[in-house]
Amino acid sequence: MKRTLILALLLFCIPLICLPLICLPAASSAGERLILASTTSTQNSGLLDYLRPLIKSATGIEVHVVAVGTGAALEMGRRGDADAVLVHAKDLELELVKKGYFVSRRDVMYNDFVIIGPKSDPANVRGSSSAADAFKRIKGARGPRGFFVSRGDDSGTHKKELSLWAKTGISPASLKKEAWYLEVGQGQAKTQRIANEKQAYTLTDRGTWLSKMDSLDLEVLFEGMPELFNQYGVMAANPQRQKHVNFDAAMEFIKWLTSAKGQGAIENYRTPRGDRLFIPNYKETHGNAG
């Protein structure tokens, strides 16, 4: 009789004990996830791999990076395939904000473009008076096939390159017909490697150059002119156009990146030799960093 009573009590109590456990919602095993479309230069330089854990620690946001050319990154944001973009084509960025595809665009950092090439410098690029003059010299030298290697991927660097060729009077269509001009459709690091293999000239951002230069038998042959300035900006996909984007995470990411801590992290990112790859400038262009 006693055993039967105990068994009955257990059968009655077990559901009551288990019920709260069954009804509790499952705990989230991860924080917010942000899809960031950015450039191969920010990825190849190692900057984003350096920043991601800092962002995770400060905000709980897990940043998933898709590294492509600026044109492709902007298209991802336009379609809502990315929550935020970090790119370097300011005029185009502002145009897309005006058209309503993006919101909250902010300058983040800058570096510059440089022309690199073989140490022998057969086109005498070192003696150039401007970037356009350097390109004229490369064209005039008419070296072997692949004498100039272009990214050819609609990236910010590719857009800058084409604008410099335009100043020499050369159209993009005519470049494709030149034997000495080689489009590779690759990111910055791979383009540098191809130029190295061919001992050719190319245009690159300084950040990727500094992070990869020790593995290349090339030199910076032209630098330091205003037309080579390279501004990076961040902005969020407009949730009014793409309602599925993670707008809150995008704004939290932008807020951190332009905060004193975010800008300080960019400032502190250096190569093992101590070279600074990017210079933060949100405060300079937008006022005090938060």
State phi, psi for 185 to the nearest 5 degrees: 60, 40
Residue 137 has pLDDT above 90, yes or no: yes
**Mean of pLDDT over the chain:** 89
Lowest mean pLDDT among 17-21, 261-265, 267-271: 17-21
pLDDT of residue 8 exceeding 50:
no
Distances (CA, A) of 267 to 45, 63, 235, 273: 14, 20, 20, 15
| pLDDT for the residue numbered 11 | 42
pLDDT at 81 exceeding the cut of 80? yes
DSSP state of 88: S
Confidence of residue 114 (pLDDT cuts 50, 70, 90): very high
Nearest to 269 by CA among 111, 51, 37, 38: 51
Section 100-118 average pLDDT: 98
Give residue 104's pLDDT. 97
Q: Give the list of residues 6+ apart from residue 229 with CB closer than 8 angstroms, or none.
A: 110, 112
Compute, in degrees rounded to 10, the torsion defined by CA atoms 121, 127, 130, 133: -70
Spell out the CATH class of 33-110+229-286: alpha beta
SS3 of 287, please? coil
pTM above 0.95, yes or no: no
Would you tell me how many other CB atoms lie within 10 Å of the CB of residue 274?
6
pLDDT at 15 over 90: no
Which pLDDT score, from 0 to 100, does residue 172 have?
83
The whole-number pLDDT of residue 142 equals: 85
Q: Where are the domains of the chain?
A: 33-110+229-286, 112-228
What superfamily would CATH give domain 112-228?
Periplasmic binding protein-like II (3.40.190.10)
pLDDT band with cut points at 50, 70 and 90 for residue 284 = confident
Note the pLDDT tens digit of each residue in 201-249: 999 999 999 999 999 999 999 999 999 999 999 999 999 999 999 999 9
pLDDT band at 31 (very low <50, low <70, confident <90, very high): low
